[in-house]
Amino acid sequence: MKARTMMSVAVSACVAAVACACGPDKAKEDTDAKPSQPSASTRAQEPSPTPSVPARTEKPSATPTGNQPAPRTKKGAIQRYEQYLHALGRQDIDTVCEVAGPAAKKAQDQGLGPCTSTYTTVFQMISPAQKKALKTATVDPQRIAVHTPDKIEMPVEAVRASATFSESDLGSYTLQYLKNNWYITD
């Protein structure tokens, strides 16, 4: 069932990307061409709108995507961990399992089950007040430990939220820079 849902999301994203690539400019060009039949010289000049295509592709590239490398910095690790905390509060299983993938794989290898079923149980253990607090939680950069440029420890004490979290209900995590992004590995 999850594979079907993820496939639907992927197909929807592709459709949206194609629709954005065609965008209102393309629709306007089509409308402009319909009222009159273009002459042979107009058809020869039609490729001139092509230079506007790079302008459309430049704008989306300014927004970070999963394909672009994340900053290999302390700030980059904090942003990624905050993304995880907010997803945990929203019960966004896809984002949680993406960020915590390596740690979830270790847990699965130890018999805890796949990430999606494990975190579904975790979501049930988090109180409504804690979920609400996680949606806007931040990390105090002064309380994290940078072991190496690729490995950062996020202790539970570094989480700043409107609810209190302990080691037993949230825990401390190690983030490592792998495959051009930060992931929870332990």
- For residue 74, give the nearest of 13, 137, 150, 20 by alpha carbon: 150
* Confidence (pLDDT) at 69: 79
- Domain residue extents for the chain: 2-61, 74-184
Q: How far apart are the first and last CA of the chain?
A: 28
Q: Tell me the percentage of the chain whose pLDDT exceeds 70.
A: 64
Give the residue, 169 or 155, on which the prediction is more confident: 155
Beta bridge partners of 146: 152
pLDDT > 80? residue 72:
yes
| Digit-coded pLDDT (tens) for 76-95 | 999 999 999 999 999 999 99
pLDDT band at 67 (very low <50, low <70, confident <90, very high): low
Residue 180: phi and psi, rounded to 5, are 65, 25
CA pair distance 69, 135, nearest whole angstrom: 24
* Confidence (pLDDT) at 127: 94
Question: What type of residue is 43?
Answer: R
Judge if pTM exceeds 0.75: no
CA pair distance 91, 125, nearest whole angstrom: 12
Q: What is the mean pLDDT of residues 129-134?
A: 96
